A and B are shown apart, each in its own frame.
Chain A
Amino acid sequence: GAVVSQHPSWVICKSGTSVKIECRSLDFQATTMFWYRQFPKQSLMLMATSNEGSKATYEQGVEKDKFLINHASLTLSTLTVTSAHPEDSSFYICSARSGIHEQYFGPGTRLTVT
C-alpha cells in the first residue's frame, strides 16, 4: 500500500508556543488530506479536510485559527497548532487520499504541551 509519513513523531512544547506537524504522501499524489485527533482509548475525530491548493474545511467545533492547515502541494500538508495549551495535548493523525481511492494513514504525532 501507499505510504504516508508524519514528522515529528513526538513533540513537546511549552504553553503559548506554536508547533508544526508535517504530513507527506511518499509515493502518490494526495489530492485530499485529512487531519484527525485521537484522545487515549477513543476513536479518531476528524478535525479538517483539505484539498491541494484550497482552504481547509474544518469540522464543527474545531477552531480554524488555532489549528492552521496548509496543503500547498500534492505531497505535503501541515498542521500548525498555534498558541498551544495543555488541553491541546493529544495524538494527531493525518491521512491522505488520491482522488476517490483508498485512504492511507500516517503513523501519528504525539503532542505534549507543558
Chain B
Amino acid sequence: AQTVTQSQPEMSVQEAETVTLSCTYDTSESDYYLFWYKQPPSRQMILVIRQEAYKQQNATENRFSVNFQKAAKSFSLKISDSQLGDAAMYFCAYRSGDTGTASKLTFGTGTRLQVTL
C-alpha cells in the first residue's frame, strides 16, 4: 500500500518570503500522480499543483512550484512571495496511475501554514 508522509505539522513564513513544505511517499509503482491540495479555513479543498511521475520537469503554477525527486520519493512544495491568503492546511496526496476509475487519493497528514506580517 502507498503511504504519504508530511513531517512538518506546522510551518510559518513571513509575508513575501518563500517557504518549502516537505512530502515523501512510498510506492512500488512506476506510474502515478502527486498532488498538493490546500484547505483554507473554509475547508474547501483546492488543488494547488499536480505532477505526473513520468514527467521529469517539475510542475509550476504561478507562485507555486514543486521539487519532484522520483528516486528519493520526495515531492516538496515551494511557495514564493507568500501572501496572507496562502495560510491554510496543505495536504500532499498520491494517486496510482492505474487507469481504473477506482484509483483513489492517499493523503498525508497535512502541514498547517501560517503567514505572518
Contacts and interface: CB of A to CB of B under 8 A. Distances in A.
Interface of A: 1, 31-32, 34, 38, 41-44, 46, 49, 51, 57, 91, 93, 95, 97, 99-100, 102-105, 107-108
| Leading 9 A-B pairs by shortest Cβ distance | A105-B45, A32-B101, A43-B107, A107-B44, A108-B43, A43-B109, A44-B107, A100-B99, A43-B110
Interface in B69-110: 91, 95, 99, 101-105, 107-110
Interface of B: 37, 42-47, 50, 91, 95, 99, 101-105, 107-110, 112
A46 B99 contact: no
B105 A103 contact: yes
Contacts of A38: 43
B101 A31 contact: yes
B64 to A, nearest CB: 15
Given A42-B109, A43-B110, A102 B47 contact: yes
Contacts of A95: 45, 105
Contact of B104 (A31, A34, A107): A34
A95 B116 CA distance: 32
Nearest to B46: A105
Contacts of A105: 37, 44-46
B101 A108 contact: no
Given A43-B110, A44-B45, A102-B50, 20 more contacts: A31-B101, A32-B102, A38-B43, A42-B109, A43-B107, A43-B108, A46-B104, A46-B105, A49-B102, A49-B104, A51-B102, A95-B105, A99-B101, A100-B101, A103-B95, A104-B47, A105-B37, A105-B45, A108-B43, A108-B44
